[in-house]
Structure 1
Amino acid sequence: MENLVKIHGAGGYDSDFSDDDGEGDSSEKARERKREAEILQKPFEKGRHSKVAHRTLHLCEVDREEARNRRAHLISMNAFERHRKFVGDYILYYGGQMADFRRSTTKDKTDLDVLRENHRFLWREEDEDDMTWEKEIAKKYYDKLFKEYCIADLSRYKENKFGFRWRTEKEVVSGKGQFQCGNKLCGAEEGLKSWEVNFAYVEQGEKRNALVKLRLCPECSFKLNYHH
């Protein structure tokens, strides 16, 4: 009993869980467990506790999703709808009127305008050099014409000025220029006479000559030879 009292009285009670004696051991074990967990963790595995994403990362993901939706919306439109949307957005943000975006039509050209600018009465080999799409249109039209007899414009015969052109398929079928008078304003079919004329004209800034054949009635033949 005395021994028991002596041990207890002298403060013989001791604890394995005291902070002073066990602090070093527990921290060392914790570090070892952490090190083992890091070694055993595979690269593709995520941590046990998920971390909250940063606000900037969230904003980037939202912007990326919005851009993806906007791109899909634009792809679903045709070219005209996209153009109209962009113009509307520009006016919405920067101000203005739709009239400011109307395309100028002063320089617009039709196929007929292109044909008139590039037409040749007679195509030569040098005319076919450096062919553009405008020249190809004119050449394609020229190939469809019938170049045996001409149709004449004698409205300015007193000035000794005449206009000649080749016949179209419709005129060949109707007989205009061969079985009818070749003057475009005359339809006489009696007393027709054939003429071969030296046609001098200016084309693309160059003087040219061509022998053409005409079938004219007596009155129109008089106009053709008014100065002779």
Structure 2
Amino acid sequence: MDYNIGSYGSEFSESASESEVQQNKINKQRNNELYKKPDSGRLGLLHHKHRTLKPSKRSASDLVDVEEGKRMRYHGLLALDAYQRHKKLVNDYLFLYGGKRSDFTRDSSKDKTDRDVIKENHRFVWEEEEESEKSGRSWEEELAHKYWSKLYKEYTICDLAKYKENKIALRWRIEKEVISGKGQFICSNTKCDEREGLRSWEVNFKYTEGGGVRNTLVKSRLCPECSYMLNYRHKKRDVTKKVKKHERRKDKKKENKSEEIETSDPSTSSQGENPRPGDDDHIWSKPIPVEDTKSREDEFEDYFDGLFL
């Protein structure tokens, strides 16, 4: 029995050549009733048997349904967004070919966010050699270095929760903390907001990073209570800026002037209440008081003294 029927051949089989595929398409078109042109035949009753009939309504409606289904599916897919279109295609695939939805889930165990990458490659201090070798760094290290370059490294924020175990955590300040004054005008301890009596301490911070031990000098400004916790085991160096001599002199002059005004003769106050006729002339005869004006250099010094304590 011959099973090689042409209608059951696959156009996508490996053994079929291009010529065979084209021939199969031509044969299908010939056999289809809609592709046949109706022939009215010759005139006369003798040749009515040779006429070909028109395609049936059934075959025409089937072809119209197929084309309409294609059009609806095409426009239906276009109306969906990318995610809904993906879900529809996956559901159709599972419905036709079977399988599990878990086969389409992506393995997210190795996914990392930018924060995870920065945590893995962050360094407290980047050496000059490491900063110059940009070509040898990976994109993860580049991302961590870019984040580090945006930090403010003048003062540190510290965590003194384990000060009795001689364990202190330090980090650099961010922009929000610099604007609020945390770490410079407010105590740098994370659990303290004291503003009075702050002192600057130079700490030789020793830490482990990248499998090795490193140390660097940093500054922290702490209140008296937090300063005691910082110096619980070892005394740190106090680098609080001292007040200059000319500032002390100015303060003393102001104090002396205020004392002179307070200890003045009480008769002057009574004279002020009951002025005499010649007091106006006496006031205008006095020299004009000259206020102490600061030079531009003194103003800059006063401004930077508040910043770099």
Report the TM-score range of the alignment, normalised by the length of the smaller protein. 0.5 to 0.7
Matches within 5 A, 1:54-133: 54-57=23-26, 80=83, 83-84=86-87, 87-124=90-127, 125-126=129-130, 128=134, 130-133=136-139
Which of 137, 142, 146 is 2:143 aligned to?
A: 137
Shift of 1:82: 6.6
Higher gyration radius (CA): 1
* Inter-partner Cα distance in structure 2 for 1:87 and 1:78: 14
What pairs with 1:1-228 in structure 2 (closer than 5 Å)?
Answer: 54-57=23-26, 80=83, 83-84=86-87, 87-124=90-127, 125-126=129-130, 128=134, 130-228=136-234
Give the RMSD, CA atoms, in angstroms: 3.1
Amino acid at match of 1:99: S
Q: Which residue of 1 is the match for residue 289 of structure 2?
A: none
AA in 2 matched with 1:179: F
- Identical counterparts, % of pairs: 56
Aligned residues: 168
Select between 193-202 and 130-139 the one with higher mean Cα deviation. Answer: 130-139
C-alpha distance in structure 2 between counterparts of 1:130 and 1:89, whole Å: 48
Structure number with greater CO (CA < 8 Å, separation at least 6) is 1
Q: Distance in 2 between matches of 1:58 and 1:205?
A: 75
Q: How much does 1:182 deviate?
A: 0.8
Inter-partner Cα distance in structure 2 for 1:89 and 1:190: 71
Shift of 1:115: 1.2
SS at match of 1:162: strand
Alpha-carbon distance change, 148 to 93 in structure 1, aligned in 2, over 3 angstroms: same
1:54–1:179 Cα change, 3 Å: closer
Q: Structure 2, unaligned stretches of length 5 or more?
A: 1-21, 30-70, 235-309
Query: Residue type of the partner of 1:121?
Result: F
CA distance in 2, matches of 1:129, 1:197: 33
- 2:63 aligns with none
The farther-off stretch of 116-125 and 174-183 is 116-125
**TM-aligned CA deviation for residue 99 of structure 1:** 3.2
TM-score normalised over the length of structure 2 = 0.47
Task: Name the CA distance, whole Å, in 1 between partners of 2:214 and 2:206.
Answer: 6
